[in-house]
Amino acid sequence: MSAISTSLLSVFVTLKKISYMSEALSHISFAGIALAILLGLSLNITSTIFVLFIVAIILYISLQYNLEESNVTMLLMSVSMAVGIILLSFKKDYVVDVSSYMFGNILLINKEDLYWLTALIIINLLFIIAFYREIIYTVYHASIAEFYHVPAKLITVLLLTILGINIAISVKITGIVMITAQLILPGMISLNITRTIPKAIIISVLFSAFASAFGFLLSFHFNLPSGAVIVVVLFVLFLLSLSFKRLFLKEH
Amino acid sequence: MIEIKDLTYRIKTKTILENISVNIADEEFVAIIGPNGAGKSTLLKLMLNLLPLQEGEIFINQQKHTEYLKSHQLAYLPQKESFVVNFPLKVIDLVLMGRIFNKRHFMRFSKHDKDIAIASLKLLNIEGFQNKFISNLSGGEFQRVLLARALATESNYIFLDEPEAGIDKIGLAGFYELLSKINEQGKTIIAVSHDLDKLSEHCKLVVCLNKTMHCHIKPDNNIKQIVHEFIESAK
């Protein structure tokens, strides 16, 4: 399910070339998780609020001081990681394995998470359906879109917000390192196969769901870490899609 | 009619434009030329309100330009848009971007919008392109599509920022022909350009810019001479 919700956004992330953002937000959410563990709060809510808070800071700084979004993001990413680790070190009796947050742990899922993920899929779908054209034009070229009266700034804020929520919720299942792959690879695969965006979104979701199911089966069967296997499966699919693209182009 | 009055623009302490005053009549075809860093693009962006005014005023049809822009969509071909061509967007969708103005939330294009978009493509002899992906177009073809988007706004004013970028020589001649054709149909054209050689054969007014305005002339036989001298002196 986390595969479905993130892969819905994957095409846009790939096209807007903000993959660094998903990487950064997942690391940032680590600080959120650390905070939640330290204070004994709900992981989902705390890390969501924390990530959104950071998204707001990123947007504010890059708009106000005219700095590159990517630089600001990377800066905050390292700071968040550092803060996360410091926070965790305060918790003396801390026993949970940090690596399960780095690479994800399917066993950390509970019933509440499933509700969250279902809600996320619905939110993502509604966002895409309601603002489809606006998103496309914004992702195409934000400042030109703004000139032609697309509410590009608003769409960028919404896109980053939704991306932030998705990452914050998915991160403990998929893992900080793996979620980036899940946000980028499905989009890259589908854009190798088709050039029409609605089809690309559907293909992206199908491939991502398949990779997760298949990867999970493999990992279960051979007793391997599931997150890692899923990423490798996605990567193999990506290689296949590259050769598909090459064959397809030759025909033309 | 566009009136620019005593315009000065600075970035920190550096003066980009100084005391510019110029009137551009309707149905004019203006070429704004000057060396790199002369403030050409800045002047264009000030007119389009993409940069805020510092000193001076701009009027479009006797209205302050900020007021005019609230109720009108101007047409603009930005510099460097051609760098994003590797994007899975169809020509018709890009042209329809010019029809967004005044649409409320949830953009839905009507039959009327689509007809206008297709008519714009037709006027530029590229109606066959509508279902092509922009990534499959040449530089010249892409520039024409952007011009079609400009036409689709139905604005009387079309602003172009270095439209020659990315077009080969033959394509460029054809592009300027099209600009002349559109101009003859009553549109005011304001183009910023490096390439005066060809453009001067088509435009009706040349504005030479290098921080301040140097000349403001109708092209005639010795235009190339005058402009050449201007460019040389600016170096």
Give yes or no for A102 touching B (CB within 8 A). no
> How many distinct structural domains can be found in chain A?
1
Residue of B81, B97, B102 to mutate for A, most A C-beta atoms under 10 A: B97
C-alpha gyration radius of chain A: 18
User: What CA–CA distance (Å, rounded) separates B111 from A92?
Assistant: 67
| Tokens 């050449």, residue located | B228
Query: pLDDT band at residue A111, thresholds of 50, 70 and 90?
Result: confident
Give residue B91's pLDDT. Answer: 92
Least Cα distance to A165 among A38, A56, A37, A250 occurs for A56
Give yes or no for A246 touching B (CB within 8 A). no
List of long-range contacts for B52-55, beta carbons under 8 Å, 24+ apart:
B53/B7, B53/B9, B54/B8, B54/B9, B54/B10, B55/B6, B55/B7, B55/B8, B55/B9
Give residue B209's pLDDT. Answer: 85
Contact B81 A196 (CB under 8 A): no
User: What CA–CA distance (Å, rounded) separates A47 from A164?
Assistant: 9
Give B144's contacts (C-beta < 8 A, 6+ positions apart). B124, B126, B175, B178
Does A216 map to a domain?
no
Does A228 map to a domain?
no
Residue of B48, B82, B83, B89 to mutate for A, most A C-beta atoms under 10 A: B89
pLDDT of B40 strictly over 70: yes
Contact A149 B100 (CB under 8 A): yes
pLDDT of B14 strictly over 50: yes
Q: Which residues constitute the domain of residue A36?
A: 2-183
Which DSSP state fits A110? -
Least Cα distance to B196 among B185, B183, B182, B206 occurs for B206
Give residue A120's pLDDT. Answer: 83
Query: Which residues on A lie below 8 Å from B137 (Cβ)?
Result: none
Distance from CA of B104 to the nearest CA of A (A): 10
pLDDT of A251 strictly over 50: no
pLDDT in tens, A165-185: 888 777 777 777 777 888 888
Minimum-distance CB partner of A147 among B76, B102, B133: B76
| Tokens 């895409």, residue located | A128
The answer to whether the beta carbons of residues B127 and B72 sit under 8 Å apart is: no
Contact A140 B100 (CB under 8 A): no
* CATH code for the structural domain at B1-74+188-235: 3.40.50.300
DSSP-assigned letters across all residues of chain B: -EEEEEEEEEETTEEEEEEEEEEE-TT-EEEEE-STTSSHHHHHHHHTTSS---EEEEEETTEEHHHHHHH-PPEEE-TTGGGG-SS--BHHHHHHGGG-TT--SS----HHHHHHHHHHHHHTT-GGGTTSBGGGS-HHHHHHHHHHHHHHTT-SEEEEESTTTT--HHHHHHHHHHHHHHHHTT-EEEEEES-HHHHTTT-SEEEEEESEEEEEE---TTHHHHHHHHHHHH-
Distance from CA of B232 to the nearest CA of A (A): 34
pLDDT in tens, A210-248: 888 888 888 888 888 777 888 888 899 999 988 888 777
Instruction: Please state the ipTM of this predicted complex.
Output: 0.84
Residue of B107, B114, B157 to mutate for A, most A C-beta atoms under 10 A: B107
The answer to whether the beta carbons of residues A83 and A89 sit under 8 Å apart is: no
Query: Which residues on A lie below 8 Å from B76 (Cβ)?
Result: 147
For A252, the token pair is 């033309």
Does A227 map to a domain?
no
Domain boundaries, chain B: 1-74+188-235
User: What CA–CA distance (Å, rounded) separates B10 from A238?
Assistant: 50
Contact A150 B97 (CB under 8 A): yes
Question: Which residue type sits at A131?
Answer: F
**Residue A87 is inside which H or E element, if any?**
helix A69-90
Give residue A186's pLDDT. Answer: 86
pLDDT in tens, B179-195: 999 999 999 999 998 77
- Edge-to-edge strands of the sheet including B14-24? B14-24, B2-11, B55-60, B63-64
Least Cα distance to A244 among A203, A184, A201 occurs for A203
Give yes or no for B219 touching A (CB within 8 A). no
Q: Is A106 exposed, middle or buried (0-12, 13-18, 19+ CB in 10 A)?
A: middle
Question: Which residue type sits at B73?
Answer: Q
Give A65's contacts (C-beta < 8 A, 6+ positions apart). none
**Residue A50 is inside which H or E element, if any?**
helix A43-64
Mean pLDDT of A42-60: 78
pLDDT of B51 strictly over 50: yes
Give yes or no for B133 touching A (CB within 8 A). yes
Query: Which residues on B lie below 8 Å from A195 (Cβ)?
Result: 88, 133, 135
Give yes or no for A39 touching B (CB within 8 A). no
Minimum-distance CB partner of A140 among B89, B107, B133: B89
Query: pLDDT band at residue A252, thresholds of 50, 70 and 90?
Result: very low
For A157, the token pair is 């804020």
Minimum Cα–Cα distance from B85: chain A residue:
A140
Q: CB A198: neighbour CB atoms within 10 A?
A: 12
Minimum-distance CB partner of A150 among B100, B102, B149: B100
Contact B135 A130 (CB under 8 A): no
Does A139 map to a domain?
yes
Give yes or no for B154 touching A (CB within 8 A). no
Give A45's contacts (C-beta < 8 A, 6+ positions apart). A36
- Pick from A111-115, A118-122, B7-11: least confident: A111-115
Q: Is A123 exposed, middle or buried (0-12, 13-18, 19+ CB in 10 A)?
A: middle
- Max Cα–Cα distance, chain B, nearest Å: 54
Does A115 map to a domain?
yes
